[in-house]
Structure 1
Amino acid sequence: MPVDLRGRSVLTLDELSSDELRFLLQLVADLKDAKRNGAEARRLSGKNIALVLERDSVHARAALDVAAHDQGANVTVLGPWSGYGRRREPIKDLARFLDRLYDAIEYVGHSHEAAEELVEWACVPVLNGMTDQSNPTQALADLVTMQQSSDKRLDDMIVAFLGDGSSNAARSLALATSKLGIDLRIVSPRTYWPEAPFVEHVTSMAKDSGGQIMVLEHVGAGVLGADFICTAPWFGEGDVRWAERVRHLAPFAVRENVMEATDNPHTKLMHSLPAWHCREDAGGARIAKRFGVECMEVCDSVFESKSSIVFDQAENLMPATKALLVATLAD
């Protein structure tokens, strides 16, 4: 049966079937190839997209801007600096206003409940550019990067995620891999494990797809045999209790010994960015001085190594965003 996502909202990858997810992955690859070859067709000419931006994300905004421009669509950014502030208007009122003017809404913010409320009240597709709970576009970009960086099939891959296992990056990766038969290990301090009902949900789906998902604390066991080691920022805008988070997460930073522990010379590093990986910038210098660590999620020597495919991954965020736009908006 053909896949048809027209008019659909996408807030998490849990809303997509495995066939729909595979369709999107192929569409990401096709759109990336079409642009590279100068053969891209503009399928969204005349479309208008509202970007409701309640958190600072250079990557999400840049990906949407370029994706929409390539496809002939227009983007209006609504953030505090543009006169929009949630306190001034209930989100259900905003949704009912925006859907009169725009063909789609992308939400980038902290509150997943706000994104759900936009879906409830808007009559146009709502796409999740990032919330504290979910980042489906990033997970699509991650999977395409894995496909393009390995000769293995997705269902033959072993992926280890190190860091905050309850983060939007870890949760979205778990939902994606559970539908595609991938072996995923979430390696995290117990205090940052995803909640038990979520783990039960994704492990059940993984069993049905022929994959498996494990949540564990031991780094050596978690990364053994991994084709990809993934990590993500330890901190986001508005996070507090930095010292506590650094203390818990420091043993899960990706250093040379972690890459060696995979016992796989072809292991690749992935990071969803931004990354504090050295003392060279002002932020890195402050972190080193305050917490006594030379890096956060990944050390500089690994980040800059030949094993790092971080910027391939970052590049793929744009065609992943474009694929969601085309799939949900194109006539």
Structure 2
Amino acid sequence: MIVSGTTGTTREEAIDPAAAWVTFDHDLHGKSIIADTDLSPREILEIIETAAILKKLRADHVPHAWLAGRTLGLIFQHPSTRTRTAFQAGMEQLGGQAIFLGIEDLQLNRGESIEDTAAIFSRYVDGIAVRVENIGDMYELAAGATVPVFNGLTSTNHPIEALSDIFTLKERFGRLEGLKFAYLGDGNNMADSLMLACASVGVDFAFAGPEAYRPDAATVELATVLAETAGSTVSLSGDPFEAASGADAVYTDVHESMGEQVNPGKLMALAPFRVTRSVMNVAKPVAVFMHCLPLHRGQEVESEVADGPQSIIFDQAENRLHVHKAVLLQALHDERHLVIQAEG
């Protein structure tokens, strides 16, 4: 990525809107993001670089309505606070608009196929963000769509959220390679997506959880291959202190996933993997606590940690906005050279 027109020497310094322009190295126009491996490591890095620029533009109140005249459609089967808002607000901040449809607004229960729904929706919008339980339904929708499809969560993965967390790591530490990322608890969709994202960009990933609730075996195998290429490692253990030892970031997610019935046995098995002050004490002194939210204080994390000085959960949540904007911009804009212009 080439950035010109900054008044300082780095992208973190002020941008002069009269002269600034951005050129992308990779052409992501029209690209869907459904699987965690749909983006190459270099494409991941360019998205987080773009997110950093967009975050700075918003902070400096510099207009960046590069998607004016474009519309994003959202089809969500499950409730959403952060992901839906990030897509909708992000699209509008880029000058476009968003249309939301809940699953009850569709005609699927009357027999219309997912592919037909996608084909029709594609005539009205320029991209579709989707949140469904089954990733197979998302692939079926993408097969019928003629516009990019963006994964807003399935029961097996959450790739754009993982990109947001990678951006947060880079923003916090100034680098990715050589960092250690500890994930404690349930080997769920977030664990799988974060493991693959970390492995792709050179971050060591250490998981600790009960044997019965470890990440998907095929995903672990793929992540191990990606990590070998990137020079990082993937490890799994049953000891939360081993995983968190020397970590730069300690991460957890809810112990009861969305739509999952309460399972007392699972909660009991996961309880020893709660993120506590003792766990954070074995991480690096500069380590941060991360959580994709919503969280349950006292269940997967102690309140002292969630609300403590090492917690960056709200910075992390904000960064969803900037990463979602970066994904939308690069997938929906048909130019690789964008000019930042001031109003007036």
Q: What residue is the counterpart of 1:199 in the other structure?
A: 220
Stretch of structure 1 that moved more, 238-247 or 60-69: 238-247
Structure 1 contact 79–85 (Cα < 8 Å) conserved = no
Shift of 1:40: 3.4
**Within-5 A mapping of 1:16-31:** 16-31=39-54
1:272 aligns with 2:292: yes
Q: What residue is the counterpart of 2:4 in the other structure?
A: none
Q: What residue is the counterpart of 1:323 in the other structure?
A: 326
SS at match of 1:101: coil
Could you give the per-residue CA deviations for residues 146-177 of structure 1, whole angstroms, max 9, x where no partner exists? 112224x2012010011111x11111111111
Q: Which of 157, 164, 178 is 1:141 aligned to?
A: 164
Q: Which of 110, 119, 132 is 2:133 aligned to?
A: 110
Stretch of structure 1 that moved more, 309-318 or 91-100: 91-100
Structure 2 CA distance, aligned partners of 1:87 and 1:60? 25
Q: What residue is the counterpart of 1:222 in the other structure?
A: 243
Q: What TM-score comes out, normalization by structure 2 length? A: 0.87
- Counting aligned pairs with the same residue, the percent is 32
Q: Which of 181, 201, 217 is 1:159 aligned to?
A: 181
Shift of 1:309: 0.3
Structure 2 CA distance, aligned partners of 1:242 and 1:32? 40
SS at match of 1:115: helix
Q: What residue is the counterpart of 1:299 in the other structure?
A: 302
Q: What residue is the counterpart of 2:109 in the other structure?
A: 87
Shift of 1:41: 1.5
Structure 2 CA distance, aligned partners of 1:234 and 1:85? 33
Shift of 1:196: 2.0
Structure 2 CA distance, aligned partners of 1:101 and 1:159? 41
Shift of 1:12: 2.4
Q: Which has the higher helix share?
A: 1
Q: What residue is the counterpart of 2:314 in the other structure?
A: 311
Distance 1:42 1:138, change over 3 A: same
What letter corresponds to residue 333 of structure 2 in structure 1? A
Q: What residue is the counterpart of 1:129 in the other structure?
A: 152
Shift of 1:132: 1.0
Distance 1:268 1:85, change over 3 A: farther
Shift of 1:85: 5.6
Structure 1 CA distance, aligned partners of 2:314 and 2:181? 18
Structure 2 contact 35–157 (Cα < 8 Å) conserved = yes
1:256 aligns with 2:277: yes
Structure 2 CA distance, aligned partners of 1:84 and 1:45? 27
Structure 2 contact 196–219 (Cα < 8 Å) conserved = no
What letter corresponds to residue 180 of structure 1 in structure 2? V
SS at match of 1:127: strand
Structure 2 CA distance, aligned partners of 1:312 and 1:67? 16
Q: What TM-score comes out, normalization by structure 1 length? A: 0.91
Q: Which of 55, 72, 76 is 1:53 aligned to?
A: 76
1:175 aligns with 2:196: yes
Shift of 1:243: 1.0
Structure 1 contact 250–296 (Cα < 8 Å) conserved = yes
Shift of 1:124: 0.4
Structure 1 CA distance, aligned partners of 2:107 and 2:242? 46
**Would you identify which runs of 4 or more consecutive aligned residues in structure 1 move more than 3 Å?**
none
SS at match of 1:95: helix
Structure 1 contact 31–40 (Cα < 8 Å) conserved = no
Shift of 1:255: 0.9
Structure 1 CA distance, aligned partners of 2:266 and 2:55? 37
SS at match of 1:316: helix
Distance 1:190 1:40, change over 3 A: farther
What letter corresponds to residue 203 of structure 1 in structure 2? T
What letter corresponds to residue 295 of structure 2 in structure 1? A
Structure 2 CA distance, aligned partners of 1:125 and 1:219? 39
* Aligned residue pair count: 310
SS at match of 2:308: coil
Shift of 1:244: 2.1
Shift of 1:80: 4.1
Unaligned runs of 5+ in 2: 1-23, 335-344
